[in-house]
Amino acid sequence: MPYASLGGRRFYYEIGGEGETVLLLHGSLANADLLEAPATAVSSGFRALRLDRRGQGRSSDAPEPLSLADEAKELASLLDWFSTEKVHLLTHDDGAEVAIQFALDFPSRTLSLVLLAPTLEGFPWSANAAARRRDLLAACERNLKHAIEEVVLTSPAFAVAKETEGLFDRIAAVYRRARFGGGARERPVHAGPAQAARLGEIRARTAVLVGDREEPERLRCAAAIVQGIPGAEGMTFAGTSRFLHMEDSRHIMRRLTDFYIPPEE
């Protein structure tokens, strides 16, 4: 299996295609396999690089929770390892928070952001949503495998995937290999404003993609990102939810192609 080495740590990666680099980042408790479809789509015109984030999948452990700034800095060092100066970021779930932090901390290295079903640090989640998050973290601490089966995979986020034969099984197989480290845990408290208060600083071209069957809280979060980042484009896809890039891959990939390679005027 291919690994990049950085400071004594190993990062699993998959890479394909030629051209400008698109870095794909998965969310917590997942791994790079969850982004195989968009990686395949963009590799026809770009170099698609997807990683298992530290503490996740097949990459090295993160015994303590990683700050967003530390994870963004780590990504910058990894890009140096791949001899890549500037990058497009394509992310899913809370991988969006890492991409947003990268865009804030390394604006000259950020070409664009595509955020699929994103979360956002500092977003005012409801009390119920915050409680569910705390309960999930506690369940993962007690027994990770049980938490995946009884809490994660029974979530409404998987309802649309269960309507397509074989799709839920493919997604569930990724989560059943989950590891619990790094960004999967609570982020350390940091000084200064949260991302939600800094979106206006981002100048990279941005698209936020959500499904119309996504949870209302996630839709609110996506709308806040679109409103906060200057010029950001919001895209909503009918009949899809948390895993829209797999639930309706044909339409999503077409829109990604249009975003990365706009038609000539």
Q: Please report which residue ranges of the chain form alpha helices under DSSP H.
A: 36-42, 68-81, 95-105, 127-142, 144-147, 167-175, 216-228, 244-247, 249-260
Assessment of whether the complete model's pTM goes beyond 0.95: yes
pLDDT tens digits along 83-132: 999 999 999 999 999 999 999 999 999 999 999 999 999 999 999 999 99
Q: Are 17 and 48 in contact (CB under 8 A)?
A: yes
Domain covering 3-260 in this structure, CATH number = 3.40.50.1820
pLDDT tens digits along 178-187: 999 998 888 9
pLDDT beyond 90 at 154 = yes
- Per DSSP, the three-state class of 147 is helix
DSSP state, 62? Answer: -
Residues in the chain: 265
In this prediction, residue 110 carries a pLDDT of: 98
Q: Are 132 and 140 in contact (CB under 8 A)?
A: no
pLDDT band of 252, cuts 50, 70, 90: very high
pLDDT tens digits along 29-59: 999 999 999 999 999 999 999 999 999 999 9
Residue 137 class from Cβ within 10 Å (0-12 exposed, 13-18 middle, 19+ buried)?
middle
- Closest of 235, 234, 229, 185 to residue 54, by C-alpha: 185
Q: Extract the tokens encoding 46.
A: 């770009």
Give the torsion sign (CA, 180, 217, 171, 116): negative
User: Which secondary structure element, helix H or strand E, spans residue 50, and what is its range?
Assistant: strand 47-51
